[in-house]
Chain A
Protein backbone atom coordinates (compact mmCIF):
# COMPACT_ATOMS: atom_id res chain seq x y z
CA UNK A 1 0.00 0.00 0.00
CA UNK A 2 1.35 3.38 -0.97
CA UNK A 3 1.85 5.94 1.75
CA UNK A 4 -0.01 8.66 -0.13
CA UNK A 5 -2.59 8.11 -2.84
CA UNK A 6 -4.11 10.60 -5.25
CA UNK A 7 -6.29 10.28 -8.30
CA UNK A 8 -3.99 10.91 -11.23
CA UNK A 9 -6.70 12.61 -13.24
CA UNK A 10 -6.66 14.35 -15.53
CA UNK A 11 -9.19 16.66 -13.95
CA UNK A 12 -10.70 19.30 -16.19
CA UNK A 13 -12.79 22.21 -14.95
CA UNK A 14 -14.06 25.33 -16.71
CA UNK A 15 -12.61 28.69 -15.80
CA UNK A 16 -14.30 30.13 -12.72
CA UNK A 17 -15.38 26.76 -11.35
CA UNK A 18 -14.24 25.01 -8.19
CA UNK A 19 -11.57 22.33 -8.57
CA UNK A 20 -11.52 19.63 -5.90
CA UNK A 21 -8.40 17.53 -5.37
CA UNK A 22 -8.25 14.60 -2.98
CA UNK A 23 -5.57 12.63 -1.18
CA UNK A 24 -5.51 9.75 1.29
CA UNK A 25 -2.62 8.59 3.43
CA UNK A 26 -1.89 5.33 5.19
CA UNK A 27 0.03 6.21 8.37
CA UNK A 28 -2.19 7.40 11.21
CA UNK A 29 0.87 8.89 12.90
CA UNK A 30 1.39 11.43 10.12
CA UNK A 31 1.54 14.94 11.49
CA UNK A 32 1.97 17.41 8.66
CA UNK A 33 0.26 17.70 5.31
CA UNK A 34 1.14 19.80 2.31
CA UNK A 35 -0.12 20.64 -1.14
CA UNK A 36 2.40 21.49 -3.84
CA UNK A 37 1.84 22.72 -7.37
CA UNK A 38 4.19 21.61 -10.13
CA UNK A 39 4.25 22.96 -13.63
CA UNK A 40 5.66 20.68 -16.29
CA UNK A 41 9.44 20.43 -16.03
CA UNK A 42 9.58 22.73 -13.01
CA UNK A 43 10.13 22.16 -9.33
CA UNK A 44 7.26 21.76 -6.88
CA UNK A 45 6.17 24.91 -5.07
CA UNK A 46 4.22 24.99 -1.82
CA UNK A 47 0.60 26.11 -1.94
CA UNK A 48 -0.76 25.14 1.46
CA UNK A 49 0.24 23.38 4.63
CA UNK A 50 -2.20 22.02 7.21
CA UNK A 51 -1.49 20.40 10.54
CA UNK A 52 -4.81 20.06 12.38
CA UNK A 53 -8.28 18.81 11.54
CA UNK A 54 -10.58 21.19 9.76
CA UNK A 55 -10.26 23.77 7.04
CA UNK A 56 -7.52 26.25 6.27
CA UNK A 57 -8.10 29.00 3.76
CA UNK A 58 -5.57 31.09 1.85
CA UNK A 59 -6.99 33.24 -0.92
CA UNK A 60 -8.66 31.01 -3.49
CA UNK A 61 -7.28 27.86 -1.88
CA UNK A 62 -8.78 25.84 0.95
CA UNK A 63 -7.12 22.79 2.43
CA UNK A 64 -9.20 20.32 4.43
CA UNK A 65 -7.85 17.67 6.78
CA UNK A 66 -9.71 14.78 8.37
CA UNK A 67 -7.29 12.67 10.39
CA UNK A 68 -9.94 10.14 11.39
CA UNK A 69 -10.56 9.35 7.73
CA UNK A 70 -6.89 9.90 6.79
CA UNK A 71 -8.00 12.28 4.10
CA UNK A 72 -6.69 15.60 2.83
CA UNK A 73 -8.26 17.74 0.13
CA UNK A 74 -7.57 20.96 -1.72
CA UNK A 75 -10.28 23.20 -3.14
CA UNK A 76 -9.43 25.84 -5.70
CA UNK A 77 -12.16 28.42 -6.09
CA UNK A 78 -12.58 30.60 -9.19
CA UNK A 79 -10.16 28.39 -11.10
CA UNK A 80 -7.93 30.17 -13.59
CA UNK A 81 -6.08 28.80 -16.65
CA UNK A 82 -2.85 29.57 -14.77
CA UNK A 83 -3.91 26.97 -12.18
CA UNK A 84 -3.39 24.26 -14.81
CA UNK A 85 -0.64 22.11 -13.33
CA UNK A 86 -0.03 18.91 -11.43
CA UNK A 87 -0.91 19.07 -7.73
CA UNK A 88 1.09 16.96 -5.33
CA UNK A 89 -0.09 15.91 -1.91
CA UNK A 90 2.74 15.40 0.61
CA UNK A 91 2.73 13.93 4.08
CA UNK A 92 5.40 14.13 6.76
CA UNK A 93 5.67 10.85 8.63
CA UNK A 94 8.48 10.35 11.10
CA UNK A 95 11.64 11.71 9.48
CA UNK A 96 10.46 11.40 5.91
CA UNK A 97 8.25 13.14 3.41
CA UNK A 98 6.01 11.04 1.19
CA UNK A 99 4.45 12.38 -1.98
CA UNK A 100 1.50 11.23 -3.98
CA UNK A 101 1.88 10.77 -7.71
CA UNK A 102 -0.05 13.96 -8.33
CA UNK A 103 -3.32 15.01 -9.95
CA UNK A 104 -3.16 16.78 -13.29
CA UNK A 105 -5.55 19.73 -13.44
CA UNK A 106 -6.57 21.55 -16.60
CA UNK A 107 -8.64 24.73 -16.36
CA UNK A 108 -10.46 25.35 -19.62
CA UNK A 109 -10.90 29.03 -20.62
Chain B
Protein backbone atom coordinates (compact mmCIF):
# COMPACT_ATOMS: atom_id res chain seq x y z
CA UNK B 1 0.00 0.00 0.00
CA UNK B 2 1.31 3.42 -1.00
CA UNK B 3 1.73 5.51 2.09
CA UNK B 4 3.62 8.06 4.12
CA UNK B 5 4.43 6.83 7.61
CA UNK B 6 5.25 9.08 10.52
CA UNK B 7 6.40 8.06 13.97
CA UNK B 8 5.57 8.61 16.72
CA UNK B 9 1.90 9.59 16.45
CA UNK B 10 1.89 11.24 19.86
CA UNK B 11 4.79 12.63 21.86
CA UNK B 12 5.04 14.54 25.11
CA UNK B 13 8.50 15.82 25.94
CA UNK B 14 10.24 18.38 28.09
CA UNK B 15 11.86 21.61 27.04
CA UNK B 16 15.36 21.14 25.70
CA UNK B 17 15.28 17.37 25.20
CA UNK B 18 16.27 16.56 21.63
CA UNK B 19 13.79 14.56 19.61
CA UNK B 20 13.36 13.16 16.12
CA UNK B 21 10.13 12.52 14.25
CA UNK B 22 10.60 10.02 11.46
CA UNK B 23 8.92 10.07 8.07
CA UNK B 24 9.11 7.42 5.41
CA UNK B 25 7.39 7.04 2.04
CA UNK B 26 7.22 4.00 -0.22
CA UNK B 27 6.17 5.72 -3.45
CA UNK B 28 9.62 6.69 -4.74
CA UNK B 29 8.62 10.35 -4.49
CA UNK B 30 11.29 12.97 -5.02
CA UNK B 31 9.68 15.80 -3.05
CA UNK B 32 9.12 15.59 0.68
CA UNK B 33 8.17 18.24 3.18
CA UNK B 34 7.25 18.93 6.77
CA UNK B 35 4.37 21.08 7.98
CA UNK B 36 3.07 22.22 11.30
CA UNK B 37 -0.59 22.95 11.81
CA UNK B 38 -1.81 25.37 14.46
CA UNK B 39 -5.32 26.67 15.09
CA UNK B 40 -6.01 29.80 13.07
CA UNK B 41 -2.69 29.56 11.24
CA UNK B 42 -3.30 26.57 9.01
CA UNK B 43 -0.60 24.37 7.58
CA UNK B 44 2.78 26.04 7.38
CA UNK B 45 5.75 24.51 5.62
CA UNK B 46 8.81 24.00 7.82
CA UNK B 47 11.32 22.43 5.44
CA UNK B 48 11.19 20.71 2.11
CA UNK B 49 13.45 18.49 0.06
CA UNK B 50 13.45 18.23 -3.69
CA UNK B 51 15.65 15.14 -3.72
CA UNK B 52 18.36 13.31 -1.81
CA UNK B 53 20.79 15.71 -0.11
CA UNK B 54 18.74 18.71 -1.30
CA UNK B 55 16.81 20.51 1.44
CA UNK B 56 15.56 24.05 1.85
CA UNK B 57 13.76 26.19 4.37
CA UNK B 58 10.04 26.73 4.24
CA UNK B 59 8.19 29.50 6.02
CA UNK B 60 8.84 28.50 9.63
CA UNK B 61 12.22 26.72 9.85
CA UNK B 62 13.49 28.18 13.12
CA UNK B 63 14.19 25.52 15.73
CA UNK B 64 14.03 22.62 13.29
CA UNK B 65 16.52 20.58 11.28
CA UNK B 66 16.04 18.00 8.57
CA UNK B 67 18.14 15.62 6.54
CA UNK B 68 17.55 13.61 3.38
CA UNK B 69 20.16 10.90 3.15
CA UNK B 70 17.87 8.42 1.44
CA UNK B 71 15.03 9.08 -0.95
CA UNK B 72 12.40 7.42 1.22
CA UNK B 73 13.23 9.04 4.58
CA UNK B 74 12.96 12.63 5.75
CA UNK B 75 13.30 12.96 9.53
CA UNK B 76 12.45 16.15 11.41
CA UNK B 77 14.80 17.00 14.27
CA UNK B 78 14.10 19.34 17.15
CA UNK B 79 17.45 19.81 18.87
CA UNK B 80 16.14 21.87 21.78
CA UNK B 81 12.34 21.83 21.77
CA UNK B 82 10.44 24.71 23.31
CA UNK B 83 6.76 25.01 24.28
CA UNK B 84 6.02 27.13 21.18
CA UNK B 85 6.81 24.06 19.09
CA UNK B 86 3.79 22.30 20.54
CA UNK B 87 1.79 21.54 17.44
CA UNK B 88 0.41 18.94 15.03
CA UNK B 89 3.08 17.97 12.52
CA UNK B 90 2.58 16.42 9.12
CA UNK B 91 5.05 14.92 6.71
CA UNK B 92 4.08 14.87 3.05
CA UNK B 93 5.52 13.60 -0.21
CA UNK B 94 4.92 14.31 -3.87
CA UNK B 95 6.16 12.62 -7.01
CA UNK B 96 8.10 15.79 -7.70
CA UNK B 97 7.62 19.47 -6.91
CA UNK B 98 5.19 21.30 -9.15
CA UNK B 99 2.06 19.90 -10.68
CA UNK B 100 1.58 16.94 -8.38
CA UNK B 101 -0.47 16.57 -5.25
CA UNK B 102 0.96 15.94 -1.80
CA UNK B 103 0.27 12.74 0.13
CA UNK B 104 0.25 13.22 3.87
CA UNK B 105 1.34 11.07 6.77
CA UNK B 106 -0.98 10.43 9.72
CA UNK B 107 0.39 13.31 11.74
CA UNK B 108 2.39 13.63 14.96
CA UNK B 109 0.91 15.50 17.86
CA UNK B 110 3.79 16.98 19.83
CA UNK B 111 3.50 18.57 23.26
CA UNK B 112 6.52 20.30 24.78
CA UNK B 113 6.18 21.08 28.49
Contacts and interface: CB of A to CB of B under 8 A. Distances in A.
Nearest to B103: A46
Q: Chain A, interface size: which category?
A: 20 to 34
A70 interface: no
B43 A92 contact: no
Given A43-B105, A44-B90, A97 B45 contact: yes
A32 B102 contact: no
Given A43-B90, A49-B101, A97 B42 contact: no
Nearest to A2: B42
Contact of B102 (A42, A97, A100): A97
A95 B43 contact: no
A22 to B, nearest CB: 15
B33 interface: yes
B42 A99 contact: yes
Contact of B97 (A45, A92, A102): A92
